[in-house]
Amino acid sequence: MEFNSLAADKNWQKYSLEEICLKITSGGTPSRQNPKLYKNGNINWIKTKELNNGYIFESEEKITEEAIKKSSAKLLPVNTILLAMYGATVGELGILGKEMTCNQACCALIIDPKKADYRFIFYLLRLYKKEIQSLATGAAQQNLSAKTIKEFSFYIPNLEKQKKIADILSELDKKIDLNTQINQTLEQITQALFKSWFVDFDPVRAKVQALSDGLSLEQAELAAMQAISGKTPEELTALSQTQPDYYAELAETAKAFPCEMVEVDGVEVPKGWECFSLKELSSAISKGTTPKKSSLNSCDSKGTVPFIKVKDISESGQILINQVEQIPEKISSTELKRSILHKNDILISIAGTIGRVAIVPNELENANTNQAISFIRLYNDNLVGIISTFLKSRKNQEDITSKVIQGVQANISLEVVRNIKIFLPINFNHKAILIFNSLLNKQLISQKENLLIEKSRDLLLPKLLNGEINEK
């Protein structure tokens, strides 16, 4: 298969993947019947669902050296490109950040450094992702054969020019990685804060303990400030001098928490807090629909409405806007009218990969989704941050996992979603909730920056190759 849609320079040469690779191979799966092949393993073993269209440094599972000897899994060198050959992930890519192994569903491309820059080839494959996916065959499961992959051919420039183009795109990827790390850190902070304030109720318990010890209300407030900030009394005293505004904010936050615990539905919670189901907090909880093939085939208008699927929601809760497919507006507004999304709708995956959570950003207002995703439309936007954080929490993830129905595809019902319960202050303007909103906004800003950089990167590659932009 020749990929030549780019207006390449006449001096560029055409090569197949087989011609520019030292080796094209695949991996294997060690026998699950032999636990010794996995137990205490220290060799990374990649599955196609872990292909992240970027560098990979760790795997979910690891195997032993014995596993390599007793299976077709093999140790692959750093900078090997992995391409998913079949299943739902066909066409997905990854680059090995260190020596690793992979399963048989991954095609491993070991690029000859004398002929091509592995990064350049990776970007080319990513550019032609949809074309590559269209070559997959099979009814029950889409499949790309090794022969088909070997025959992929491109017009590419000389090695020096490849490296210059790859350098530019790699710099953008570094910025994306940095933003991703920042977002992950913010997510960790949010989850830790959620557990402390809304599960363990640390500020309230600190107050209760201080008062029971015979301390004054002022001292109880100080104890709550310690619980919130993680600082000692001495450090707080110093903080009052060096950062008076931050100290005042801590004091205000501590004051917002009550000094008493009460029992609600058999659970000890802060006074003034109640148990709410998502059904009580929402104006709508429903799911999407997949358009009929006959409707899509008969519709003569171009797809303009984003159609979100589970694969478009990352583990960190980001909707990968740049990869979302689009459907015609006519179908979205008629056949799928019921599932048109609003800004700040919370999405949670309920089929296949269960428990992915995201918030619909401004850019996806009036988007649509399929039946594998439930949308939650809250009455009060103040609750979007805290509810989405709660849905991603370990406790909730474990709860919904216990209610999974195993069938052709694992799923949970809408009723399960509607009956999810959370303890919240009756006052939805509570300081703790507002702080969550501020943290959420920081995450959304970071995510938006990433989307813009990704879009720039994806637009830049064909322009660089077409000569519209000089790589110098």
Q: What is the band of 13 on the pLDDT scale with cuts at 50, 70, 90?
A: confident
CB 128 within 8 A of CB 156: no
pLDDT in tens, 322-334: 778 889 998 898 8
| pLDDT tens string 454-472 | 778 878 877 776 656 665 5
pLDDT at 124 over 60: yes
CATH classification of the domain holding 360: 3.90.220.20
Q: What is the predicted pLDDT for the residue at 283? A: 95
- More confident: 316 or 393: 393
Tens digits of per-residue pLDDT, 283-304?
Answer: 999 999 988 877 777 777 788 8
Same domain, 153 and 203: no
pLDDT confidence of residue 261: 94
Which one of 157, 182, 204 terminates a domain? Answer: 157
Structure-derived torsion over alpha carbons of residues 94, 97, 102, 105, reported in degrees to the nearest 10: 10
Judge if 232 and 125 occupy the same domain.
no
Confidence tier at 133 by pLDDT (50, 70, 90):
confident
Residue 38 in any domain: the answer is: yes
pLDDT digits (tens, 9 = 90+) for 414-450: 999 999 999 999 999 888 888 878 877 877 787 778 7
- Give φ, ψ of 85 to 5 degrees: -95, -25
Phi, psi of 251 (to 5 degrees): -65, -40
Domain membership flag for residue 444: no
Q: Is the pLDDT of residue 139 over 80?
A: no
Task: Please report, in angstroms and rounded to a whole number, the separation of the first and last CA atoms in the chain.
Answer: 31
360 phi/psi in degrees, rounded to 5: -70, 115
Any domain includes 398: yes
Question: Residues 36, 145: one domain?
Answer: yes
Query: What's the pLDDT tens digit per position in 52-73?
Result: 888 999 999 999 999 999 999 9
**What is the residue-averaged pLDDT of the chain?**
88
Structural tokens at position 406: 């195993």
- The pLDDT value recorded for residue 374 is 96
Decide which of 102 and 432 is more confident: 102
How much is the pLDDT for 7? 47
Report yes or no on 465 lying in a domain: no
* Together in a domain, 219 and 74: no
Work out how many domains the chain is built from and give that number: 3
Tokens of 149: 């992959």
In this structure, what are the phi and psi dihedrals at residue 285, rounded to the nearest 5 degrees?
A: -135, 115
- 259 & 311 share domain: no
pTM, two decimal places = 0.76
pLDDT > 70 fraction of the chain, expressed in percent and rounded: 96
Strands 93-96 and 55-56: parallel
Indicate whether 451 belongs to any domain: no
pLDDT of 163? 92
At residue 353, the 3 state secondary structure works out as coil
Instruction: Give residue 244's domain range.
Output: 190-272
- Domain membership of residue 387 (yes or no) is yes
Gap between the Cα atoms of 406 and 404, Å rounded: 6
Burial 347-370 (b: 16+ CB within 10 A, else e): bbbbbebbbbbbbbbeebeebbbb
Do 260 and 283 have their domain in common? no
Domain check: are 19 and 139 in the same one?
A: yes
Which residue has 């969550």 as its token pair?
Answer: 436
Over pLDDT 90: what percentage of the chain?
A: 51
Confidence of residue 122 (pLDDT cuts 50, 70, 90): very high
Verify that 146 and 54 share a domain, yes or no: yes
CA–CA separation, 227 and 241 (whole Å): 20
What angle is formed at CA 28 by the lines to CA 23 and CA 29, rounded to 5 degrees?
165
Clarify whether residues 201 and 332 are in a common domain. Answer: no
Mean pLDDT to the nearest integer, 104-113: 95
Say if 197 falls within a structural domain.
yes
126 falls within a domain = yes
Instruction: Kindly tell me if the per-residue pLDDT of 360 is higher than 90.
Output: yes
Does pLDDT of 353 surpass 60? yes
| Pair 174, 375: CB distance under 8 Å | no
Q: Note whether 135 and 209 are same-domain residues.
A: no
Same domain, 204 and 336: no
Give tens-digit pLDDT for 216-267.
999 999 999 999 988 898 999 898 899 999 899 889 989 989 999 999 988 8
Whether 265 and 208 share a structural domain:
yes
